[in-house]
Amino acid sequence: MEAEQITRIEEAALNAWPAPRQMIYDGWLLRFTGGPSKRVNSVNIRYPSRLPLQEKIAFCEEIYALADLPSLFRVPAPFSTPELVQFLLKAGYHAFDETYVLTRDLADANPVPDNLRVESFLIDDWIPYKGLISDSEPGPLALQQQILNCIVPQKNLIVLFAGDSPVACGMAVVEGDLLGYFSIYTHHDGRRKGYARVAMSVLTAWGLQRGAKLGYLQVEGFNQPARELYRQLGFDLCYPYDYYKKE
């Protein structure tokens, strides 16, 4: 994939999961939210640097300490350099939680089976369903609600029901011809029944109606069941990224 398209995907993903508080520092995007989501609590390497790396990293460490947050660096492979990686390693950082950005060309979606139904919800109504389906704690859910309220592009928050029981949920964000998939969860009592596939198909149909042509998502390397599902759905690796932290 061309560098220009990768840049568009990276920017769309940042827009689709925004931080309520952030700042740009010499081409790096610093995000401050709190909670467990690393994407909105890390230094995102985006554009070339002008300042010395030692000065930049020291500044990031100081400002994250002031925010009472650990200093995390999110380093997408297409925007990384050997110099940056070596400097982080020498400064005591190590890579963890390798994550993959996957993409696929969008095709016609399958209809929803007759025994299931799908509803779209506003943020305040969708969050409790996500908490129930993903078994999330109230604290992180409140922070995620803040994140969702900051999304500017058009989004669709769905819940899949089997009878009256919510069995899966998901979110999609469309920006131009790009469709991002987020928060795809299946309730633990409904796994291995194809519910996640149905949720993905519904979100795909919604994106196609709004002009999307390429789908993307992010999946952690250790999440083998999700990776296998996305492989079966036709997603291929676009680029990886690592997080760096100090012990």
* pLDDT for the residue 207: 98
pLDDT (0 to 100) of residue 190: 80
Judge whether residue 139 has pLDDT over 90: no
Average pLDDT, the chain: 95
pLDDT in tens, 16-48: 999 999 999 999 999 999 988 999 999 999 888
* Contact criterion met (CB below 8 Å) for 49 and 137: no
pLDDT digits (tens, 9 = 90+) for 167-224: 999 999 999 999 999 999 999 888 889 999 999 999 999 999 999 999 999 999 999 9
Q: What is the pLDDT of residues 91-103, one digit of tens each?
A: 999 999 999 999 9
- In the predicted model, what is the mean pLDDT of residues 221-237? 94
pLDDT, tens only, 43-73 = 999 888 899 999 999 999 999 999 999 999 9
Percent above pLDDT 90 for the chain: 87
**According to the model, what pLDDT value does residue 136 have?**
85
Looking only at the bridges linking them, the beta strands covering 214-220 and 94-105 are: antiparallel
The average pLDDT across 131-156 equals: 92
- Residues 245 and 88: their CA atoms lie apart, in Å, by 9
Residue carrying the six token digits 């995007």: 29
**Considering the entire predicted model, what is its pTM?**
0.94
